[in-house]
Structure 1
Amino acid sequence: MKEMTHEQFQLAIQALAKQIKEHKFVGIYGIPRGGMVVAVYLSHCTGIPVTQFLTP
């Protein structure tokens, strides 16, 4: 596990959000037990809604 400050976390989320915006995703899925925090941050940065289910 890598420790990071809140500022480092936000910078990492912004970098990932920039990459995600280049694709046509319709939802962001947060892996249970820890992934929802990242999913919500990415959703806010990209405007892509968080989804509760994975679909093919």
Structure 2
Amino acid sequence: MTPKDLSFVGYTYKNFDAVKGLRQALGDARVDFTAERAAKEAELQMLASAGDPMLP
């Protein structure tokens, strides 16, 4: 391999790690959002079953 080829391989590998880390971080945020939404829905269901007059 030429030095130019090696440079390209190193650049690609470094960027792949950065993209992979970003995807994992975004995946974690999505999990947090889904869990938060599920908790809010469960709370609304509890309030509705308790006969809360503030719910439609």
Q: TM-score with structure 2 length normalisation?
A: 0.36
Q: TM-score with structure 1 length normalisation?
A: 0.36
Q: Indicate the structure with greater strand content.
A: 1
Q: Indicate the structure with greater helix content.
A: 2
Higher relative contact order (CA 8 A, sep 6+): 1
